[in-house]
Structure 1
């Protein structure tokens, strides 16, 4: 009896989605074919999953996530400007590529955390409080934005320190020759 309870309360295994050569996605959890829109819904619901190529078993999750972003960007209300996309592309192959990825990831996470805190704290807002919030005069909003900006500043400082260390190492190698 206890074995059944332990299995029922155990965290379910990561969902596996297989992508077949015909470009169809198969959810092994539900034993059904699913669409890219349904994969997007899994992301929105914070569902843990991996997408595997059915033929090679390679993990192609990133590729599917990028495909979802591409469709969203083409959908009429893009999040990224051409300039932002060009700047991201310029970091590929650059010495700071790894740090840029970490920087973007941390900034998006900090913004997500900010959004969650704001949603949590604004659940009981009155119309007057919303009006004050939209004018950025609310101490709560100033505090949240201050925390976000401080995190962003710290990440930029870390990036600058890393660039300085790499420059020193590079010039040190030239001087030793």
Structure 2
């Protein structure tokens, strides 16, 4: 993930079209979701009024994912969120949610660090390095959407043969295809032992 100092500025025109100021082209909500999953901070402003519309569009992205059956938030959590808008708990909920997600990010990062540094008695097994790389790629693919969730890189990636090198974390479904292919190859090797 490339670290960018300033958020990606998206301008909303009167026609409601969204304009990416870095690439000078129009973008969709799905494009914005892709930027965010890749680790970019995004700021969406109304061109005419200058109002910050980021929160509104992020909520719209979440609502679209939820409506397509890609549910992340359980019904009881959504219910509690609605309740928090009408109670005195409103002031506590944002801090609680921010702290919870920060703990999740930290936990994921520590898990990746522990996995990379953990000695394994199977390390002498042929093909173990490739298996360990696959585990790390799998975790990155599963957790890669979380900001700051890339974790440590395998130390010997540059020395692996081209067929075992890790694909870029932003490749999405291609990552999973590569992981499956390499895992099948590794299973064949292990079964021959």
Q: Which TM-score bucket, shorter chain as reference?
A: 0.5 to 0.7
1:99–1:128: structure 2 CA closer, same or farther, 3 Å change rule? farther
Do the aligned partners of residues 111 and 12 (structure 1) sit closer, same or farther apart at CA in structure 2, a change above 3 Å counting? closer
Identify the residue that residue 116 of structure 1 maps to in structure 2: 109
- Structure number having the greater helix percentage: 1
| Alpha-carbon distance in 1 for matches of 2:35, 2:110 | 22
TM-score, normalization by structure 2: 0.55
TM-score for both structures, normalised by structure 1: 0.59
Within the candidate set 36, 42, 50, 2:43 is matched to 50
Q: 1:83-98 alignment to 2 at 5 Å?
A: 83-98=76-91
Instruction: Kindly state the Cα deviation for residue 123 of structure 1 after the two structures are TM-superposed.
Output: 4.1
SS at match of 2:14: coil
CA spacing shift, 1:121–1:75, aligned 2, 3 Å = farther
Give RMSD over aligned pairs: 2.4
How many Å apart are 1:35 and its aligned residue?
1.4
Deviations 1:21-54 (A, max 9, x none): 3322101111111111111122122223310012
Gaps of 5+ in 2: 123-193
Structure 1 residue runs of 5 or longer lacking an equivalent are: 1-10, 130-177
Secondary structure, aligned partner of 2:93:
helix
Which structure is richer in relative contact order (CA contacts within 8 A, separation 6 or more)?
2
SS of the aligned residue for 2:88 comes to coil
Shift of 1:128: 8.7
Runs of 4+ with deviation above 3 angstroms: 11-14, 123-129
Among candidates 62, 69, 74, match of residue 62 of structure 2: 69
Per-residue Cα deviation, 1:89-144 (whole angstroms, up to 9, x for no partner): 10113112111110111011101211122123224779999xxxxxxxxxxxxxxx
1:102 counterpart = 2:102: no
